[in-house]
Structure 1
Amino acid sequence: METDDWVCLENGEDDYVIERFEVRVKGKKPLVINKPNYSKLVFGSQQYLNIKLEPAKQFIRESVLETPEPLSFDEYWRMRQVLEQHLTK
């Protein structure tokens, strides 16, 4: 059986429990997802940011798993610019 490291099979003390996920972009209503699961995070981010699946997964990795603090708008915007450059290649 293949497992995905992003899927929480059992709630342990090392697992992330996300109560609220929020992304804000100037000129758009914020994306707010309460108690999201992985697929809601990826699909919501993908639709909101208008990006493909792999960049959406990377966005989730960087905004949730690889930082102890929420992203600021400036950090998000820099990440968005990098993703857009990557997608145009």
Structure 2
Amino acid sequence: MQLICTKLSTHQLGTALGMWLQGFLLTFYHYNPNGITNEALVGIGNMGIYIPAVLCGVSIIFILRYSLTEEKMNRLQKMKQESNSGREIDV
């Protein structure tokens, strides 16, 4: 039950931060829903292109640094099976 609450809290935190960042950036680029300016259009374009590209680059760095060997994979699968069966996990 604690694991589910942790996942839910993390999801909610990520959603809240993402929504805050969108609102902040729209304000930064002077977005007005009644009249969209060129500056706001450029900002919306930046939000859809450059920010995801930077975040993708950061995630690629972490992926490349994570070494997953056959032994580690087998150990993770065993831990998952033990967790699903309700047994105590030996880390």
TM-score (norm 1): 0.31
